[in-house]
Amino acid sequence: MKLLVLGGTGEARELAARADGFEVITSLAGRVQNPVMPVGEVRVGGFGGVDGLANWLQDNGIGAVVDATHPFAAIITENAAAACGQVGVPHVVLRRPGWSAGPLDRWIHVPSLAQAAAELPGERVFLAIGRQGVHHFAGDESRWFLIRAIDPPDGAMPQRHELLLRRGPFTLDDDLDLMRRYGIDAVVSKNSGGDLAEAKLEAARILGIPVVMVDRPPLPAGVQVVGSVDAALAWLADLTG
């Protein structure tokens, strides 16, 4: 069976490596200049919306789709659910669990980056949101921003900022040193979940720094969701009998 993995995450790469018995094609959006590549066949770029993806699934004889994209890749997730429903291809969303605040965390929950920009505390802000969405903070002239991303942001950036181009994972010592060295007094993060970027939250907890946490966008209604690669493999095993 041909399996399309909508990728870009560590879970997608692990699934591609472990999906024995399937002809795996991993699709990457192409937004990262030098992505970590999965094993097997890889295609890069969009499909052309719901109809384009539906046609591609049929033209390429895809028997199942696992959406293992980033939890904030809402458009491709919506398109995949609609396209798979349109052509009758079995489909599951693989989403690692999100982070949860503990009793010592000072989280401010917001539904979007635009709202995060409107509710910022502090004067020296660590933007730990990647390259997308930085433009929401571009109009803030009263604060200084530390922006950490793999690739430079495409759009406008705050007037007062420093850009750090680095790829995780980051350790607790890394992020404690970073926040102390730059005098950070607020952090902005998306609730991506996982271990690769969790250190910043632990560092903020230790230092008593508030975190503006952007909640995940909702999943399309009715989609099946699994929380681990093992669960996705079990879903595939059930599918193939």
Enumerate residues 6+ apart whose C-beta is below 8 A from 226.
Answer: 92, 93, 94, 95, 232, 234, 235
With CA atoms as reference, report the closest residue to 146 among 167, 174, 126, 175: 126
* Model pLDDT, residue 194: 87
Whether the per-residue pLDDT at 78 is higher than 80: the answer is: yes
Q: Is the whole-model pTM more than 0.85?
A: yes
Calculate mean pLDDT across residues 97-103.
Answer: 95
Residues 155-196 have pLDDT tens digits of 999 999 999 999 888 999 999 999 999 999 999 999 999 887
**Both tokens assigned to 198:** 């969790």
Check if the beta carbon of residue 209 is closer than 8 Å to that of residue 200. Answer: no
Tens digit of each residue's pLDDT (9 = 90 or more) over 137-161: 999 999 999 999 999 998 999 999 9
Domains along the chain? Answer: 2-96+217-240 (3.40.50.720), 107-214 (3.40.50.720)
Q: Is the pLDDT of residue 32 over 80?
A: no
Angle at 150 between CA 68 and CA 105, to 5 degrees: 75
> Does the pLDDT at position 34 exceed 80?
no
Quote the pLDDT of residue 29. Answer: 86
**Is residue 225 exposed (0-12), middle (13-18) or buried (19+ Cβ within 10 Å)?**
exposed
